[in-house]
Amino acid sequence: MKPFSRELFGSRFGVLMALAGSAIGLGNLWRFPYLTAQNGGAAFILIYIVLLLLVSIPTMITEYLIGRRSRTSIILTPNRLGHPKMKFIGIFAIISAICVMGFYNVVGGWTIKYLTSSIMLQFGSDTADYAGQFSEYISSPYMPLIHTFIFTGLIAFISFKGVKKGIEKASKIITPTLFIATVLIAIRAITLPGAYEGLKYLLVPDFSKVSIDTIQNALGQGFFTLGLGAGTILIYGSYTKSDENITNSSISTAALDLFFAIVAGIAIIPAIFAISYANGSTPTLDAGPQLVFVTLPSVFASMPFGDIVAILFFFSLALAALTSAMSIFESITAFIIDVTEKSRDKAVYIGYLICLIPATFCSLSQGVLSDVRILGLNIFDLLDMLSANVFMTLASLFLLIFAGWILKKEDIIDELSNHGKATTPMWILNTVYILIKYVAPLGVAAIFTYWLLF
Ligand code: PFF
């Protein structure tokens, strides 16, 4: 086995940008605004924050501290920490990562296509059939596949360059750019006449819309957005210096991610309302591909300076997808490097091929393979469902049990306190430990059971 030393991130800012880049992704742009608007606005955000503090952030801290303590990828972590029988946790996490890469890279490919179309000013007509254009594009056998290969190739290219010169450097440029672009879109959206109604719909609390499903959605969103249970936080943790405060940087990542998601909501929902009112139609809210590739192009087409907003939006979408996919790819590549002891270059080639297999099936499942159904779902939706609801959840649950019930409390506190050197008060570390040991695993087990039963 390789020694504990490995290439590390160079700066605190770099670590934060890499973690935030992994967290901020398609989920922030196409799911969070929709969930917030449909589940009682600020009421949803409040529940989301409570669940972040009780469950998602403690789970993130767990993955992070285990990664830093073991300084290896998730499959070898239990070995390194003296519990080889727990190896199965890594298998769940790597399966999660491969499943997510399957559909994520395909959507990443679509963002490249829509970015190029917006640059070529193809979203100018408010009467165009954007739904028809989108379904024609995604169901074609070649173009989306070529875009997927290009998108995955970009990630592989960054990964070739390594931790500091690749991941860290790219994150330090991309994550702030993404922020600025989204803030600009939000400013355009709220200055449209009629945007205020949308802003109210997005943000004013309405507790009558809160149900058990709201809680499940809030917890599920927290998990997916922080990318828990796919080995990404663990691998980034393994590249982090030992004086980095794990608790602080986890909280900062979750806060930046939430802030970005709210700005994305402000960029999207008021624009939809404003344009619908201007056209005399009722605003339609969707989540997922329908929202970003169908509804929004027609909104941009009706908006003053819409061409520029469209370019900015698809640019943001592509960047958000890129930094998230980069972290998942790193989880897979580092796994190959640590297990086979191959060079990074070789591991990147292998990782690229491994990612393209499920991605090819996901892409074709929108067209020629659309009749292939498993559990009633096409391959794209199946991988989405299995990763988010089964593999990421179970890997996180096992990691929490591993940290809280198998590793020693002294070791956890030792890692959280940077071997006693961090200034975090002891009561905070003890509270984090209680959350890791009792509260977070119960929360995760509850969502999993609720999902299984309903
Ligand atoms: N956080 C990303 C998003 O919100 O789109 C998705 C993601 C990143 C999932 C990293 C899983 C992962 F490991």
Q: Whose CA is nearest to atom 9 of ligand 1?
A: 227
Residues in the chain: 454
Ligand 1, pocket-test mutation among 225, 257, 329, most atoms within 8 A of CB: 225
Residue nearest to atom 13 of ligand 1 (CA): 227
CA 18 to ligand 1 center in whole angstroms: 12
Give 350-353's long-range contacts (Cβ < 8 A, gap of 24+).
Answer: 351/156, 351/159, 352/152, 352/153, 352/156
**What separation in Å is there between the alpha carbon of 388 and the centre of ligand 1?**
10
374 alpha carbon – ligand 1 mean position (Å): 24
CA 272 – ligand 1 centroid, Å: 25
At residue 388, what is the residue type?
A
The tokens for 125 are 């007509």
Centroid of ligand 1 to alpha carbon of 323 (angstroms): 9
Q: In this structure, are residues 51 and 215 in contact, taking their beta carbons and an 8 Å threshold?
A: yes
- Phi/psi zone of residue 341: left (φ > 0), alpha (ψ -120 to 50 degrees), beta? left
Name the residue with the closest Cα to ligand 1, atom 8: 227
Residue of minimum CA distance from atom 12 in ligand 1: 227
Q: Confirm if 253 and 20 have CB atoms less than 8 A apart.
A: yes
Smallest CA-to-CA distance from 177 within 36, 319, 74, 16 is with 319
Q: Which residues line ligand 1 (CB under 6 A)?
A: 22-23, 25-28, 100, 224-225, 227, 230, 232, 324, 327-328
Q: Digits of tens for pLDDT over the chain (454 positions)?
A: 455 668 999 999 999 999 999 999 999 999 999 999 999 999 999 999 999 999 999 999 999 999 999 999 999 999 999 999 999 999 999 999 999 999 999 999 999 999 999 999 988 887 889 999 999 999 999 999 999 999 999 999 999 999 999 999 999 999 999 999 999 999 999 999 999 999 999 999 999 999 999 999 999 999 999 999 999 999 999 999 999 999 999 999 999 999 999 999 999 999 999 999 888 888 888 899 999 999 999 999 999 999 999 999 999 999 999 999 999 999 999 999 999 999 999 999 999 999 999 999 999 999 999 999 999 999 999 999 999 999 999 999 999 999 999 999 999 999 999 999 998 999 999 999 999 999 999 999 998 999 899 8
Instruction: Map residue 431 onto helix, strand or coil.
Output: helix
Give bridge partners of residue 374 from the DSSP assignment: 377
CA 54 to chain centre: 19
Contact (Cβ atoms closer than 8 angstroms) between residue 28 and residue 182: no
- Residue 222 CA, chain-centre distance (Å), reads 9
Say which DSSP state 390 is in: I
